[in-house]
Every structure is written in structure tokens, then in C-alpha cells.
Structure 1
Amino acid sequence: MENSSHPSYFNLTMFVNIGSYRYPAFVFCLLLFAMIVSANLVIILVISQQRTLHEPMYFFIVCLSINSLYGSAGFFPRFLMDLLSDAHLISRPACYTQIYVIYTYALYELTILSVMAYDRYIAVCHPLHYHSKMTSKTVFKLAAFAWICPSFLMTTIMYLSIRLPLCSNKIPKVFCANWSVVKLSCVSTVINNIVGLLVATTTVFLPLAYVLYTYLRILLVCRRCSAEFKAKVFQTCLPHTISFMIYSITGFCDIAISRYNLEDLNPFVVVILSLEFVVIPPVLNPFVYGLKLPEIRRHILKMLPWKTKSHLCF
């Protein structure tokens, strides 16, 4: 009974449907992982080395890049190994660890983006008080909130999931997901559902509502300002808006498919939709901020070897 209610391994069944595509998929995902690591490290190094970029907005961008590295490290190594393996078994501790890392990554992304929205709100709506409000102490508190709150909430969810007796060990996905494990339970999951709903409301809908509120206030302020001021606000707020929209869409896709019987859906559609929120934001965020924010873009261009050579020629 102990072995059946608490299996030592979980079987990720969706890999069977990838079949002969696994080798091209491995090469593509390996290159993608390398690009994520490289691009986010460049953003972190540029901001950390340039004293002119030691401001709250850029500090939160570093937090976003660190989170991208954290989430990618929790997903890609195991996923790449499974692509080349004939058996797709993952141990119980490894599965729950992967769930914790991927879901805290998801929650961190939302809280960091919310904190960045607050920073932009103060900068645009209260520019004269920006430096008095966004002090180093305040920035540290906001960053601590962005990291600690999701960790505490996810620990609670994990505790409720780990204690469930399970009637099966088959997870119809390419990575461990909390709801997929909960659905294997032999007993009622009402408490898990209630707590999950509360956590989703706290970490998804409240940040969404707050970001929409702050940008509504920013738009109202910009309506009364000059074209030059509007262009400057647009330049600094656009990357954050794009990042938030990308993450909201990809996160919604994962939540939506988790409520369906995945075995009845097209396996390739399931794999693509379930991978979006762990792949697309870490790939696009560094490019969005690196290309859209002129200060970061300028310092990145200085690092390019051909740019250096052109300076030497002149």
C-alpha cells in the first residue's frame, strides 16, 4: 500500500508522442537554453558593471534576468536529458523539486513585474518624489517581497501536494506539474483546490489588476503632458508592457490546458502550449529590454567586438 500510495517514481508519458522528433528537438532546445543563459548573463553583466545603470528600474531588470536563469536551470537540463532517454521516469523528490522551481519561477515573474510597475508609476506620476520614495532601502524591501512571498505560498502548496496518497504515477506532460500530480490523488483534493485558488488570486489576479491600474494612471498623466514626455514614458514603459503581456498570455495557455484531459488533445499542441511560459519569457525578456532601453542597448553595443574594431579604425 505504501508503494502504491507514494510511488518512488513518476512517468512523464507525453515524451512517447515526440518519437523521432526528439533529436532535432534536443538540438533546438540546447541552442535555446544556451541563448537564454547568454542573453540574460549579458544583461546582468552590463547593468552590474555600469554605474550609470545602478538605478531601481535596472536593478529589477537584473532580478528578472536572474529569475529567467533560475527557471531555465530548473527545466532545461532535465528536459534535454529526457529527450535523449528511452525511459522518462523521474524520482519523487526530483519531481517535486522541479515543480517547486518552475512554479516559484512563474510566481517570481509576476511579483517582479508588479514591482517594476510600481517603480514606473512612481517615476511617471510622482517624478519629483521618485528618489525620496525609491530609496535603496525601499528597493531592497520590494525585491525581498518579490522573492519571499511566492516562496512561502509555493511551500504551502507543495506541502499539501506531497502529503496526498496517489493512485497512479503517470503524468501526461513533459515536466512535473502540480495540478497533474494532484489529479492522481486517491482522496479528495478540496483543500488543495481552495488553497490553489487563493494562491492564484493572490499571485496572479492581484498583480494583473495592480499592473493595469498603474498603467491606467500613467496613461492619464501622459494625456496632459507634452509629446516629448510621452515619448520618454513610452520608451521606458513599453518593454515592461511587452514582458507582462507575453508572460500573461503564455501563463494563461498553461493554466488553460491543465484543466483539460491532456490525453484527448493533440500531443504536439499540448507540448508547445505547456512549454511556452518556461521558454518564451526567458528568451524574449533580455532582447526586449536590451533593444528597447537605449542605455542598456548602448552599453551592449560597446561590448561587441566589431564595434570595438570600428572605434579603433577611427
Structure 2
Amino acid sequence: MMDNVSSMFFLSGLNETKNLRFTIFSLTLLCYCVILLVNFVLAVTIILDKNLHEPMYILLCTFCINGLYGATGFYPKFLWDLLSPVHAISYSGCLIQALVMYTFACSDLSILAVMAYDRYVAICRPLEYHSIMSKQRLTKLVCFSVITPFSVISTNIFLSSRLKLCSQYIARLFCVNWIIVTLACFPAETILNNIVAYITIIVYVLHGVFIVWSYIYLIKACVYSIEQRKKFMQTCVPHITSLVTFLFTILFDIMYIRYGSKDLPQTIQNFIAIEFLLIPPIMNPLIYGFKLTKIQNRILGFVNFKIKS
């Protein structure tokens, strides 16, 4: 039985990639820099341009900041592990990393749900949009998308911290709460963890149901109106693309954990595990940057100004 407070966890996900270590380091550093660049540029563009201080763009800014948060919770430690002969993390560090990974993923889904609500009001109830999406309500929705995931996941992590563990080995590149729970010496003690975990899953499945419900109404509202269809294509398609990308990366990992073959090469298993930390943080800012005209014009205008200077 481990002394949790003073113990270390050993991450075994990199054990079979020693020969490719520097190649993976270079590619990972490049990906991390791209994630930082595209999310930072989009977030700063929205913050500095008062013409973009509208609910849709403020939510997008929150989306980008969350991408920076999630990436920073994983990539610096992963890059350090690639250069280190021992891939270890302290017990408290492991819990913090698990908290960051889960809150990042859950916040992404919460922000997508709020974005769906914003688009529903904008297209289905345009005359009431500014009264419904007031600054006060927008602030509450942004707080909801950040504080709720943190509160829910903190509860899960706290329950995991109470468990006595019998192993120090995590077969992943980063700490995951469900793996920590499986390391418990006494499975009977994990009943409360499992109950809270299922409640968490239900909460975020309901987020998905709400998004689907919103888009059913959006599609109905746009079927008979060319103007509404144009608005839908301009502002909703990026949101749908982000949602599909997020769900694909998360569900693919979950399905692999549940049904996948453990005979796959470790490199492929690692890629599946970090998809949600790689694809959405890069794709989302690019999708919105290319599709939303106001942002595209603002960024191009800034680039042209710098070139002329």
C-alpha cells in the first residue's frame, strides 16, 4: 500500500518510443507552439477589438483561452518527459494534471453548449437577442462554462485523493482520474467515486442533448429562409465543426479504452490518448478564423498594417 502524500507515479506511455524520442519532441514542440500561436492570436484579437465584444466572439475567446489552459496542462510536462530518462510525477502533481485535463474537456463541452444557446437565440429569436444575451447573462454563462466543470471535476478528484493505492504505474502519457481509481487497494472504497463519475457523465451527456435540441430548432428555423440559411452557414457551421471534432476525439478515446485492442503499437495508443489535446486546440481557432468574416478581416488588417509599417 502506497503512502499517497510522499509517493510518485511513473508514466509508462513512453517506454516503447525511446528510438523516436527526439523526433517526437520536435513534432510535439511544433504542435504546442502552433496551439499557443493560433489561440493567443484569436483571443487577443477579440480582446483588443471593441467591435468584436459581442456574445459570440466573447464565447469564442473563452474557447481559445480554455484551449491554452488544456494544452499548457499537458505539453510542458510531456516535453520534459521526452528529454528525461525517468517519466515520473508526484502524487499531488498527478491529481492536479488530472484536474486540468478533465476540466479542459468538460469546459470545452460547456462552452459549446453555451455557443449553441447563443446561436439559437440569434437565429430563432433575433428581435429579443440583445435583451436575452445581455452582458449580465453573458457573464453568468461564461462563469457557468468555467466554474461548473471545475466544481464537478474537483469533487471527482477529491474523492480519488481519499483512496489508498497499491500501484505507482500509470500506462498513459499523463494522469487520468479513472486510472487512479483503478489503482485502489480496496475496490469497495471506489463505490462513491463511481457514483459521482456516472453523475458527471450524465451531466455532460445532457449538455450534448441540449446542443442537439438547439440545432434541431435552428435547422427548422433556417429551412424556409435564405437569409437565415446564410446566417446559419456563416456562424453555425464553425460551431458544428468544432463540436464534431471534439466529440470524435473524446469518444474515439473512450471507445478505445472500452473496446480497443491492447496489441496496437504504443505510439498509436499514445496518439489516440492525446487526440483531444492536439486536434481541437489547433483546429478550432483556424476554423473560426477562416470562417467568421469579422475576425478574418481584423487579422488580415493587422497583418497588412505590420507589412506596410
Which bracket does the TM-score occupy, shorter chain normalised? over 0.9
Q: Distance in 2 between the 1:295 and 1:2 partners?
A: 55
What is the deviation of 1:223?
A: 1.0
Classify 1:14/1:230 alpha carbon distance in 2 versus 1 (closer, same or farther; 3 Å).
same
8 Å CA contact 2:8, 2:88 repeated in 1: yes
Q: Is the 8 A contact 2:9 2:90 kept in 1?
A: yes
1:32 to 2:31 alignment: yes
Distance in 1 separating the partners of 2:87 and 2:75: 14
RMSD (Å) for aligned C-alpha atoms: 1.7
In structure 2, the residue corresponding to 1:304 is in which secondary structure? helix
Query: What CA distance in whole angstroms lies between the structure 2 residues aligned with 1:281 and 1:256?
Result: 18
Structure 1 unpaired stretches of 5+: none
Match of 2:194? 193
Please say if residues 2 and 167 of structure 2, whose CA atoms lie closer than 8 Å, have aligned partners that are also in contact: no
State the distance in 1 between where 2:270 and 2:6 align: 24
C-alpha separation in 1, matches of 2:215 and 2:292: 18
Q: 1:10-89 residue pairs with structure 2 within 5 A?
A: 10-89=9-88
Residue of structure 2 in register with 1:222 after alignment: 222
Q: Is the 8 A contact 1:243 1:285 kept in 2?
A: yes
Q: Secondary structure at the match of 1:90?
A: strand
Deviations 1:241-261 (A, max 9, x none): 000110001011222233368
**Aligned residues of 2:29 and 2:79 also touching (Cα < 8 A):** yes
**1:162-241 paired onto structure 2 within 5 Å:** 162-188=161-187, 189-203=190-204, 205-225=205-225, 227-241=226-240
TM-score (norm 1): 0.94
Which range moved further: 182-191 or 283-292? 182-191
Cα pair 1:172 1:263 within 8 Å, conserved: no
Output the CA distance in 2 between the equivalents of 1:19 and 1:187. Answer: 35
Residue of structure 2 equivalent to 1:251: 250
Q: What is the DSSP-based 3-state SS (H/G/I as helix, E as strand, rest coil) of the residue aligned with 1:81?
A: helix
Distance 1:262 1:96, change over 3 A: farther
SS in 2 for 1:15: coil
Figure out how many residues of one structure are paired with residues of the other and give that number. 307
- The answer to whether the 8 A contact 1:96-1:176 is kept is yes
Contact between 2:249 and 2:276, CA under 8 Å: does it hold in 1? yes
Identity over the aligned pairs, expressed in percent? 39
Q: Please say if residues 16 and 266 of structure 2, whose CA atoms lie closer than 8 Å, have aligned partners that are also in contact.
A: yes
Shift of 1:7: 6.3
Instruction: Confirm or deny: 8 A CA contact 1:6 1:165 kept in the other structure.
Output: no
1:218 shift after superposition: 0.4
